[in-house]
Amino acid sequence: MTPPRISVVIATLNPRRNVLHWTLDALAAQTLPKSDFEVIVADNGSSPPLEEKELTGARALRLRIVREPRAGVSFARCAGISAATTDWIVFADDDNGLDPDYLEQALRIIETSPHLGAFSGIARLHSCARVAPWKKDLLCYLGIRDYGTEAVTSNQHLWGPWEPIGAGMVFRREIGREFVRAVETNPLAAKLGRTENTFIGGEDSFIAKLAYPLGYSCSYQPSLKFTHWLDAKRFSARHLARTIAGIGQAFVLYETVLGRPQPARTTLSTLVELAMRLRYRMRTRGARAGAVEWFWDLGYFRQVRSLQRSQQYGPEILHRHSEL
């Protein structure tokens, strides 16, 4: 059997079985020959455990399951990255339906853009979803995005449309290995990634940002498209607020790991800044959307204060990436 050209990693914990099978059906329908890609399902402690026979079925995919007992999507993704046998990896969440040409287009981009380290494209919301109009501007925090028909590429260590989100991200395995090493050796990096009990995300942004010190760019590539099937509960104001706060926390963590610690704050300056940001967000986003988006600021300042209290701004906590 010929070796695969690209690996698809799916990190999952107690997935909705029908949605996971929808994700796998989309992979089975890829225009890229099945012999050219492998599928690695990283089971993060599902009960009952996932089984290869159930997931493969009649799809004839080159599918393997790896089991990661440590709780957290970062650990599951590390397990999938470590199991991959190809130089390029694609993250597909257990609620993503990749368009039929996704993997074929990814390989085309890889062949024509050797300077890229990580990229992704358009993420659509599943048509079954019902979202209140005032929440639509917040969907970017749930991994829904469309920046138009033109590619955007950059090697700037700044957040922008060129930086891929975790769902659908295509990246070099050498970048993935840097991520694995960081998670395994740095306690702040290990905090990134949601668990059943925490909403801190950011492991995907961290992976993307690891491309820059290695000399690569990130890119938005609109030829890549997939559909995101989100559970209705994720659109509640409470869930959105907790998700957005977790993203703010994650920003502080991965920027610190990368050698860019955020400025220390006094209690008074934090309260003043939070009040000013709440007023600004409500004025620019509207009262409801602004109030929910303000939880990014709340998560950010809480994490800054937490690191100050634990004295984790010292040089001993910084990963060697800060020296690259």
What tens-digit pLDDT sequence spans the chain (324 residues)?
A: 789 999 999 999 999 999 999 999 999 999 999 999 999 999 999 999 999 999 998 899 999 999 999 999 999 999 999 999 999 999 999 999 999 999 999 999 999 999 999 999 999 999 777 889 999 999 999 999 999 999 999 998 888 999 999 999 999 999 999 999 999 999 999 999 988 888 999 999 999 999 999 999 999 999 999 999 998 888 999 999 999 999 999 999 999 999 999 999 899 999 999 999 999 999 999 999 999 999 999 999 999 999 998 864 444 333 333 333
Q: Where are the domains of the chain?
A: 6-235, 239-318
Assigned fold of 6-235:
Spore Coat Polysaccharide Biosynthesis Protein SpsA; Chain A (3.90.550)
Which pLDDT does position 231 carry in this prediction? 86
Which pLDDT does position 313 carry in this prediction? 45
pTM given for the model: 0.91
Which pLDDT does position 311 carry in this prediction? 65
DSSP 219-283: EEEEEEEEEE---GGGGSHHHHHHHHHHHHHHHHHHHHHTT-PPPP--HHHHHHHHHHHHHHHHH
**Burial profile 221-233: b = 16 or more Cβ within 10 angstroms, e = fewer:** bebbbbbbbbeee
